[in-house]
């Protein structure tokens, strides 16, 4: 437990080599690379404020059912599944593995947040319209206050990115800032 524990957590979604590296298995392309400095700045600011930093990370099985829809990516134990070096976790950060879009589905994220008394979440990462949006939806369903940093989320699909930001704000009640 940190000395200064707030009720806020920064959630870093899928900033992993396979999604962010140009040669990653399921790269988001230039849009994904472009948000790395903003993500790093938000991580630094939230750490400085004493907020909890949580990484939710795709960690698939080699034969994961998700690969019926997407090319194999982020297979547990491979370099592609690792958090990008620029955003390496620090001592005290929490790293959570997931096998589906939402960081809440089949994971201990909700339990971790409740045990830490966290009620307010800030989201960064990829993809805006997939794992960020479904994590935001599950957070809102559970009653968390959710902020999304517009400068630190991205998608391979610009139109879907824009639509997702709009939906998270108008339908899910997130604050997009």
Chain contacts with Zn ion (rule: CB under 5 A) = 58, 66
Residue that has been written with the tokens 């059912």 in this structure: 65
Compute the distance between CA of residue 42 and CA of residue 103 in angstroms, rounded to an integer.
Answer: 19
Query: Furthest-apart CA pair in the chain: how many Å?
Result: 45
* Least Cβ distance, residue 73 to Zn ion (angstroms): 6
* Least Cβ distance, residue 60 to Zn ion (angstroms): 6
Among candidate residues 14, 18, 64, 138, the one labeled active-site is: 14
- Catalytic residue flag (residue 174): no
- Catalytic residue flag (residue 98): yes
- Catalytic residue flag (residue 14): yes
Among candidate residues 39, 57, 127, 131, the one labeled active-site is: 131
* Contact predicate 25/80, CB 8 Å: yes
* Least Cβ distance, residue 83 to Zn ion (angstroms): 15
Task: Report the residue number whose CB is nearest to Zn ion.
Answer: 58
Nearest to 132 by CA among 29, 14, 10, 42: 14
Which residues are known catalytic residues?
Answer: 14, 98, 131
């Amino acid at each position: 437990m940190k000395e200064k524990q707030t009720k806020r957590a920064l959630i870093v979604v899928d900033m992993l080599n396979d999604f962010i590296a140009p040669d990653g298995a399921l790269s988001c392309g230039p849009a994904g690379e472009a948000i790395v400095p903003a993500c790093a700045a938000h991580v630094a600011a939230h750490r400085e404020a004493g907020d909890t930093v949580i990484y939710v990370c795709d960690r698939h099985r080699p034969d994961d059912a998700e690969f019926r829809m997407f090319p194999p990516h982020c297979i547990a134990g491979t370099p592609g599944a690792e958090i990008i070096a620029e955003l390496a976790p620090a001592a005290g950060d929490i790293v959570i593995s997931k096998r589906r879009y939402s960081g809440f589905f089949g994971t201990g994220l909700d339990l971790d947040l409740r045990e830490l008394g966290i009620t307010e979440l800030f989201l960064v990462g990829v993809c805006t319209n997939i794992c960020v949006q479904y994590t935001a939806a599950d957070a809102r369903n559970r009653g968390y206050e959710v902020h999304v940093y517009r400068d630190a989320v991205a998608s391979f699909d610009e139109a879907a990115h824009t639509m997702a930001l709009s939906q998270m704000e108008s339908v899910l009640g997130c604050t997009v800032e």
